[in-house]
A = this chain, B = another copy of it.
């Protein structure tokens, strides 16, 4: 199912404002196809960083949003799943990648300073990554379909998504603002955006049951870092559309 893996190289955007028009769709091959240098902070230090992504993977999608927020931009496509290569260090798993990026590049925070607000972000992220996403994985659902049928597959996925969304909706009542935990996007939002979108598109979940989740998901559509991480805007999605 997950064909045409994508490797993207990352470069830190110029903070002085000289941004390209459409940095995430940039596919100039005049840059190195393998690795590019990434500078952060004062640009007095540089390091290499590379993301292996796939346009349909919700885990890769999370990492794309985080990188966009931290103002990295992808320079050239190639290919694999959500693996971050930083110099000689390889790191898998979107949750671990996000916390790694957060600590190494703290300038634009993915977690709030306030301890309780931070804990809300980690809870939301984990409800998505441990209680919903593993139970709607394509491979798992395919094996359920083969063994018990298409209807069972869909009701299985819907059951776990709605169970998780019920918990998230209650959690967000206490803390949400324009976004999940206030008026700034954080890690909770990075996990929610791909999850809500997949729930609607792949499993036809009725979001009117979850007014907070619905409202904040609409707000994500206005945030450039979220817009640019959408699956349909990834170079490998474009390739697939052309070839399949």
Contacting B at CB under 8 A, from A106-133, are 115-116, 118-119, 122-123, 125-127, 129-131, 133
Closest CB in chain B relative to A127 CB, distance in Å = 7
Given contacts A116-B89, A123-B91, A123-B96, contact A147 B140 (CB under 8 A): no
Q: How far is the CA of A177 from the CA of B131 in the complex (A)?
A: 31
Binds B, one of A97-105, A193-201, A210-218, A226-234: A97-105
Copies of this protein in the assembly total 2
Report yes or no: A99 in contact with B116, Cβ–Cβ below 8 A.
no
Q: How far is the CA of A168 from the CA of B92 in the complex (A)?
A: 12
Give the distance in Å from the alpha carbon of A222 to the alpha carbon of B134 in the complex. Answer: 33
A29 to B87, CA, bound (A): 56
Instruction: Say whether B100 contacts A115, CB under 8 Å.
Output: yes
Q: Look across to chain B and name the residue whose beta carbon is closest to the beta carbon of A84.
A: B119
Whether the Cβ atoms of A134 and B123 lie closer than 8 Å is no
Identity of the chain B residue whose Cβ is nearest the Cβ of A143 in the assembled complex: B156
The answer to the question of A135 belonging to the interface, with a C-beta cut-off of 8 Å to chain B, is: yes
Option from B104, B147, B152 in Cβ contact (under 8 Å) with A115: B104
Set of chain B residues within 8 Å of A147, measured between Cβ atoms? 147-148, 152
| A37 on the B face (CB < 8 A) | no
Bound: A144/B123 CA distance, A: 27
Q: Is the beta-carbon distance between B89 and A126 smaller than 8 angstroms?
A: no
A100 to B111, CA, bound (A): 12
Residues of B within 8 A of A80 (CB): none
Known contacts A93-B123, A130-B134; 14 further A-B pairs (Cβ under 8 A) = A91-B123, A92-B123, A93-B127, A95-B95, A95-B126, A96-B125, A96-B126, A100-B119, A103-B115, A103-B118, A104-B115, A134-B135, A147-B148, A147-B152
**Please, could you name 25 A-B residue pairs with CB atoms under 8 Å apart, sorted by A?**
A89-B116, A91-B119, A92-B123, A93-B123, A93-B126, A93-B127, A93-B130, A95-B95, A96-B125, A99-B118, A100-B115, A100-B122, A103-B115, A103-B118, A104-B115, A129-B129, A130-B130, A130-B133, A130-B134, A131-B134, A134-B134, A134-B135, A135-B140, A147-B152, A148-B148
